[in-house]
Amino acid sequence: DWATVAAQCVTVIHNGAVVNVIAPFQELRAVNVESTREVVKLCCDVRPKALHYISTVSATNNLDPIIDESTPHTKDKLEEMGGYAQSKWVSERLIEEAVSMLGLIAAVHRPGAITGSSQTGFANEEAYTHRLVRGIVEMGFAPDVQAGLEFLPVDWLAECMVAMLRRPPSQECEKFHYVASQDSLIPLSDVVDAIRSYGCHVKSIPYSAWQRRVLDGDKRMALSVLSSYFQGSKFPAGDDNRVSSAKTFSDLPKSLQ
């Protein structure tokens, strides 16, 4: 119960959230933000506890050309962010305020696109990358674009986070980034070729034609819930290419770099 955890626990890892890229902020606030507020209270109750908060690179909205672990929070594009990213942004701010005002020991971990286990392949079927691949298979069509996909195996990511948890605590709210470098992204065309190698017939077509098929297609298809991603004139590449994880990776054990 609360009293036992408050008295005996020394480290709290907060990874609980509703992951929904299309839900508005107000729909996610109770679970994603208020839970963080309660976890902060727990970490400050009875005895000090270190808090490690699992966020997302989507919460980095600064307009700087490169966003590294020391780039400060701003409200630059807050209104343009989706509800999920907004809920993570607000939660990070709550934690930062607790660090500065209450002396909380905390760190924020921001992963990119998390994919399945490198050992079993088991993955979150609701994740963007999984839905994109499944949607391409269902449609039989892929966008003919120059784009790279990020694949961060969940087991590797967990090992990285555990390694950073073991670092000596800091008096500041440290940020850790886990994103793939541009040269390690997997070209979408290579993913499509891999799909074909398993016997699936997939035709590459111009993005505009593929986009119409997604937006006008069967609402039961895997990509239907992500239709808001494909409203623009270009295939969404995201902002991960502005996020640097150089410092985090340099602090990781050699076996994980």
Q: Tens of pLDDT along 201-252?
A: 999 999 999 999 999 988 889 998 888 888 888 898 654 568 899 999 999 9
- pLDDT at position 238 is 53
Q: What is the pTM of this model?
A: 0.91
Identify the CA nearest to 43 among candidates 158, 178, 169, 175: 169
User: How far is Cα 229 from Cα 48, in angstroms, rounded to an integer?
Assistant: 42
Q: Is the pLDDT of residue 116 over 50?
A: yes
Count Cβ atoms below 10 Å from residue 1 Cβ, excluding itself.
Answer: 5
For residue 62, count other CB atoms closer than 10 A to its CB: 17
Q: What is the mean pLDDT of residues 149-153?
A: 93
Amino acid at 100: S
pLDDT tops 80 at residue 148: yes
Six-digit token pair at 228? 């808001």
Q: How confident is the model at residue 22 (pLDDT cuts 50, 70, 90)?
A: confident
* Band of residue 175 on the pLDDT scale cut at 50, 70, 90: very high
Separation between Cα atoms, residue 4 and residue 30, nearest integer Å: 24
- Three-state DSSP state, 89: helix
- Tokens 């999984």 correspond to 130
31: which 2 tokens? 């679970």
